[in-house]
Chain A
Amino acid sequence: MEREKIESIVKKFLVEEIEVDENTIAPGALLKEDLGIDSLDFVDIVVIVERDFGFKIKAEEMTGVRTLADFCDYIETKTK
């Protein structure tokens, strides 16, 4: 999937479903500290990613993911 498309989908669900403040969304934003995504939100993001991108996030593959750009990189790798 194209990077632009991935970023658009991620932004949409973060704003509409996880209800992240749209103004805080930026590639370098830290998922936890800047976007306020907590461990329970992440349980919901697993469900949304499976629905929107068709794969299941594995916790062990997410260890290096800290920023929104990292997260989109991860999705890009998985959807290639």
Chain B
Amino acid sequence: MKRVVITGMGIYSCIGKSLAEARDSLHAGRSGIGIDPARAAHGYRSPLTGIVEPPRLKGILDRRLRVGLAEEGEYAYVATVEAFREAGIDAGYLEENETGILYGNDSSAKAVIEANNVVMEKKDTTLLGSAAIFQSMNSTVTMNLSTIFKLRGINMTISAACASGSHAIGLGYMFIRHGLQNLVLCGGAQETNLYSMGSFDALSTFSTRVDAPTRASRPFDAGRDGLVPSGGAASLVLEEYEHARRRGARVLAEVVGYGFSSNGKQISQPSDEGCEIAMTRALADAGVSAREIDYVNAHATSTPQGDMFEAIALDRVFGESRPLVSSTKSMTGHECWMAGASEVLYSVLMMRDSFVAPNINFEQPDEYSCKLNIATKTVEKKINLLLSNSFGFGGTNSALVIRKIQ
């Protein structure tokens, strides 16, 4: 089996539009949550969201390469430019070497709704223009990025709800581990526009703590009242270790374990058993014991049910060693389809700079979270091994184990 390492990362999120900005926000415990007044006017139950401004790409990217990008694709493009730059991958490399892309995305609501509005008004699909189809499909991110960056390896979108980005990394890891690819661009993207979250808001799962937006996302806190939707994109360059060495690439971390499971239960109901199976499998795949894990980046979204089931599972797996746990969603909100990728990226930044970002707004534990060792403040600490959890609707679970390269 081949070893799989991360050699580049890029981020576009509500806590930073570059690795440096995101790193500083994580270390400072800075929230990126605010209020979108348009959501209230549009009939949302909650106007809270991560505040992410779409990038302006006109003049940067050729029109034909640009117009097919939906909002989440624009985020992913900017994140990928940073990731490839960090990895030392340029156009010449991509031309000469087969590179894959496995990216998490599970909606492109704005493109679909706007196209539908045009057809409703004009009663003529030929007035939609050329870009609607390339923006509307779930694979919009991978179909556009593979074209822009001229990628010729494995090319597909992973749609697995809020675990999409994590599974994308897990699958990229498997492709490289089995010797099928040397380099795969992995990541996750999430649109943040007005249309993107209405149907999720319909479930009344969003926090309505509008008087204090930055305190609204409070994973594991007894007073939590729901999640705060957010988005952007995170890109990670996964690479075969010897290939990275030959290139002289700087290695940020090693992906050593991937675990997955499906609850097989009610569509929106989390499961402690499902979480536990994914984590246990990831640890076994990595060949490490639970007590070796220094830090767990929890999925915890700030919903009463989800956090409770994850806390039960974390206690069952890590109860003896009680590693530091934090949910960076306390700062970012729930980055949904992107979260599994961005949270690995955030965790690798912590690993690189030897700190654990705080689970902000954790003030009062409940009967489950009281059993966890939750980082309420930034902890300066060397991290050798970490585990990142991601869970999604339909009971899809993913856990990744990342090791520091010595």
Contact across chains for B64 and A47 when beta carbons are under 8 A apart: no
Query: Is A43 in contact with B63, judged by CB distance below 8 angstroms?
Result: no
Taken together as a complex, chains A and B put the C-alpha atoms of A56 and B124 apart, in Å, by 10
- How many interface residues does chain A have, given as a range? 10 to 19
| Contact status of A44 and B127, CB under 8 A, knowing A18-B63, A38-B64 | no
- Residues of chain B in range 22-66 having any CB-CB distance to chain A below 8 Å: 62-64
How many angstroms from the CA of A22 to the CA of B62 in the assembled complex? 15
Contact B64 A46 (CB under 8 A): no
Q: Is B199 an interface residue (CB 8 A)?
A: no
Query: Secondary structure at chain A's binding surface: helix, strand, loop or mixed?
Result: helix
Bitwise interface map of B from 90 to 124 toward A, beta carbon under 8 Å scored 1, else 0: 00000000000000000000000000000000001
Which B residues touch A44, using CB under 8 A? 67, 129-131
Interface residues of A in 3-29 (CB under 8 A from B): 18-19
By the criterion CB–CB under 8 Å, are A43 and B124 in contact? no
Nearest chain A CB to B87 CB, angstrom units: 30
| Pairwise interchain contact B63-A47, C-beta atoms closer than 8 A | no
* Total cross-chain contacts (CB, 8 A): 25
Q: Annotate B170-196 by CB proximity to A: 1 below 8 A, 0 otherwise.
A: 000000000000000000000000000
**What CA separation (Å) do A43 and B126 show in the bound complex?**
7
Cβ-neighbour of B64 out of A41, A50, A56 (below 8 A): A41
A43 touches B129 (CB 8 A): yes
| B-side interface residues, number (CB < 8 Å) | 11
Q: Quick check: is B128 within 8 A (CB to CB) of the other chain?
A: yes
Bound Cα distance A67, B127 (Å): 23
Query: What separation, in Å, do the CA atoms of A40 and B131 have in the docked complex?
Result: 8
CB proximity of A52 to chain B, nearest CB, Å:
13
Asked if A40 and B127 make an inter-chain contact with CB atoms under 8 angstroms apart, the answer reads: no
Q: Which residue of A lies closest to B62 (CB)?
A: A19
Q: Which residues of A contact B130 (CB under 8 A)?
A: 40-41, 43-44
- In the complex the two chains form, what is the Cα distance from A58 to B236 in whole Å? 46
Would you call B63 and A46 a contact (CB within 8 A)? Answer: no
B64 touches A40 (CB 8 A): yes
Question: In the bound complex, what is the Cα–Cα distance between A41 and B127 (angstroms)?
Answer: 13
A38 to B62, CA, bound (A): 14
Q: How far is the CA of A19 from the CA of B63 in the complex (A)?
A: 7
- What is the chain A residue whose CB lies nearest that of B67? A44
Contact of B128 among A18, A40, A47 (CB under 8 A): A47
Q: How near does chain B come to A72, taking the closest CB pair, in angstroms?
A: 21
A50, B129: Cα distance in complex, Å = 11
Which single residue of chain A is at the shortest CB-CB distance from B59? Answer: A19
Closest to A50 in B: B127
Complex Cα spacing A40 to B130, Å? 6
**A-B pairs with lowest CB-CB distance, top 8:** A43-B130, A40-B130, A19-B63, A47-B129, A44-B129, A44-B130, A47-B127, A50-B127
The contact sample of 16 A-B pairs, CB cut-off 8 A, is A18-B63, A19-B63, A40-B130, A41-B130, A43-B130, A44-B67, A44-B129, A44-B130, A44-B131, A46-B126, A46-B127, A47-B127, A47-B128, A56-B124, A56-B126, A56-B127
- List residues of A whose CB falls within 8 A of some B CB: 18-19, 38, 40-41, 43-44, 46-47, 50, 56
- Further 14 A-B residue pairs, CB within 8 A, beyond A43-B126, A43-B129, A43-B130: A19-B63, A38-B64, A40-B130, A44-B67, A44-B129, A44-B130, A44-B131, A46-B126, A46-B127, A46-B129, A47-B127, A47-B129, A56-B126, A56-B127
